[in-house]
Amino acid sequence: MSTATTTDRAELLREASLTVCGRREGKTRACNSCLRKADAAVQLIKGPTLNTRLLPRVADIVCGSAGQPCGDCWEKATTLILELRG
């Protein structure tokens, strides 16, 4: 059903964006910047890229770095990949 798929995707994106933005009690939505990053990360993770190549690329998107993501963002990227592919 297309409606269910849309809802699933929206829910997926919401969860992913919270992971990117940083989860906190009572926080229900991410900021716009993290929402955009999560959207790009979800597309990448759901795409054909090999698992082994995924982590550095997702970490880079999350951090917004030019190939030098920080430790925090490596962890977030790992979480995202596990959530979406695991």
22: phi then psi, degrees, rounded to nearest 5: 110, 115
- The one-letter amino acid code at 61 reads I
Does position 73 bind Zn ion by CB under 5 A?
yes
Does position 59 bind Zn ion by CB under 5 A?
no
Residue 6 or residue 22: which is nearer to Zn ion going by CB? 22
Specify whether the CB–CB gap between 17 and 9 falls below 8 A: no
Exposure of 54 by Cβ count < 10 A (0-12 exposed, 13-18 middle, 19+ buried)? buried
Question: Whole-number minimum distance, CB 7 to Zn ion, in Å?
Answer: 23
Site for Zn ion, residues 18 to 57, rule: CB under 5 A = 21, 30-31, 34
Interface residues toward Zn ion, by CB under 5 A: 21, 30-31, 34, 63, 70, 73
